[in-house]
Structure 1
């Protein structure tokens, strides 16, 4: 399976440009300085906060042959640095979930049936470096490993080659199997807040401009509100701040604020927004649903905090919050959107978590 293409603008050119993760940088620098960087690492944190950027910067740091890795200053100009940025370096292995699949396919990890253990991530990690002394293997989308796929990785993660650094990237530790977590050193990426959060979000918004959007100026208040609504998910915050979900917010919150939301109005509100974003492209529609659920999550969290300050507990609100959080998992599992929206709207009315056993 071909490595995912990572465009050069998608990650910083130096560690100084990695926003809000001094602690991570210090930990990596210390490990390199003590010659203890190796084995298996697990990078976890909300989407868009810089996990992939840090992983690729680490790859560039390790593979750069002009500057020592202990300097934490890859030159960015040598052939190795250029190949890392172009995702073509032979000693940089990358595997990600295909956009048309719900899980990382087994063949990406251990090769197709006719060539088991002769191809794939686990096989390539054990090959000798082709250009330098080390190699870096990055497994994106680690949240989307099923049990069989995770089991294929266990021996590689537990006994990685001495010349390899393996990095798994996911959104949270809880979404990784215990057997994976126990074999990795976890590095937690928190979503930057305040000035750093705004700087990171502005960077995401500038890339939207590069992709053909109309340039806009965003106030600090707009950026802070988007980050709060997105609960630190910078990908969602980018869409919220750019106005892709702004118009529908008032209509949705008006229903969520009623004692018994009308399921027909809630479903229509959501469907109208999804159709406005795209009528056919499933990834865009799923992203739009995530945005609306982020708004709902923050709404219910605010209500629960207010009730707690008054010494009360709003059970219906807690149930509706739990149901909204469940939608994110159902989106990740590629649930049918029409059915999902109808069930969600009905469950909000009933103030139920929507727990249907193994489904959801």
Structure 2
């Protein structure tokens, strides 16, 4: 079984009642399971932390639980099968994800190492007979990080999945998947919860974020709503914003973003001071802090565009700055050098250019 690059299991809901939001997805899955039509390949897309992985694990519990019928969409959550699924140790549950130190899912995780091609890996394991129950569930996390070669390795498996297997791919957007992948999967789009559901989900994320603190802070509804709006539904970013990590940055940055011509030196200094305050050496923490910055900038520029549109105008400079900010997310995912990225971003904001350099950025 391909376990080498599986993520450590976070706290997943034990039953469907504990999943926040996504009622229509639960209904669709219940109908499909009840009619015996849940099979083949599914593609879950939505913002980070919105509940895609939690839903995939609940689907795995539903399918693999041998105490309650799958058609009831009511896994017991306590039997050995459910416990093993939640722990990520069930022999009929396959999980593969992008290693933290890699920019893409390695080919060997899909089809095995060079000396054992198609004898190991995700595509091999999904065709093995179930060991405990009647079905297998294979979850490919981080589907955004498949290169073309890796995606092509999946195609035959997705075209002709085993009748006793369910394959779930998890990504953030359909646009980040190759057309050949999208065409072979049933896509389920996860919308970030708003209102009470959004605040409830964010509180769950914050509880895990602060689990090592003896006396965790109490977050007001206003703080949570503000973080959700700034993060555009990205729960990982919202968690850091609500925790106060980016509070000072917001004021300094917005002052420059609102200027007709941002000062590149001031913008770069503001960003670098924030990144250094989070961590001077740990790249993952610095990339996360940069994502927070981009979330703030995206919401600012979207607000400006909405305001000018209501007045019947179009602000091309703001549009370009928004496009440039969105491009930064992709560069972060590609592990671009942070110093170079900050300098280029600050300069491009001043010039109001999208930063499109022939596919490099």
| Structures share fold, TM-score greater than 0.5 | yes
CA RMSD of aligned residues (A): 1.0
Listed as ranges, the gaps of 5+ residues in structure 1 are none
Shift of 1:212: 3.1
Separation in 1, partners of 2:209, 2:215? 8
Structure-2 residue corresponding to 1:165 = 166
Q: Which residue of 2 aligns with 1:36?
A: 37
Distance 2:27 2:157 in 1: 26
Task: Give the match for residue 336 of structure 1.
Answer: 337
**Counterparts of residues 11-160 of structure 1 (less than 5 Å):** 11-160=12-161
Shift of 1:140: 0.0
Corresponding position of 2:222: 221
CA drift of 1:258 comes to 0.6
Aligned to 2:194: 193
What's the CA shift string for 1:208-242, capped at 9, x where partnerless? 12133751111111111111110110110111011
Distance 2:213 2:44 in 1: 31
Q: How many residues align?
A: 359
Q: Do the aligned partners of 1:21 and 1:189 also contact (CA within 8 Å) in 2? A: yes
- Deviation of 1:248 after TM superposition, in Å, equals 1.1
Unmatched 5+ residue regions in structure 2? Answer: none
Q: Give the corresponding residue for 1:294.
A: 295
Q: Secondary structure at 1:210's aligned position in 2?
A: coil
Contact 2:7–2:97 (CA under 8 A) maintained in structure 1: no
Residue by residue over 1:279-336, the C-alpha shift from the partner in whole angstroms, topping out at 9 and shown as x without a partner, is 1111110000000010000001111111111111111111111100000010011110
Checking the alignment, whether the CA contact within 8 Å between 2:113 and 2:120 is kept in structure 1 is yes
Give the corresponding residue for 2:349.
348
Partner of 2:134, secondary structure, is coil
2:141·2:171 contact (CA, 8 Å) conserved in 1? yes
Q: TM-score, normalised by structure 2?
A: 0.98
Matched, 1:205 2:202: no
> Measured at CA, do residues 213 and 343 of structure 1 come closer, stay the same or move farther in structure 2, by a change above 3 Å?
farther
After superposition, what is the alpha-carbon deviation per residue over 1:96-122, rounded to whole angstroms, capped at 9, x for unaligned? 000000000000000000000000000
2:282 is matched with which residue? 281
Distance 1:310 1:214 in 2: 48
Tell me if the contact between 1:3 and 1:87 (Cα under 8 Å) persists in the aligned partners.
Answer: no
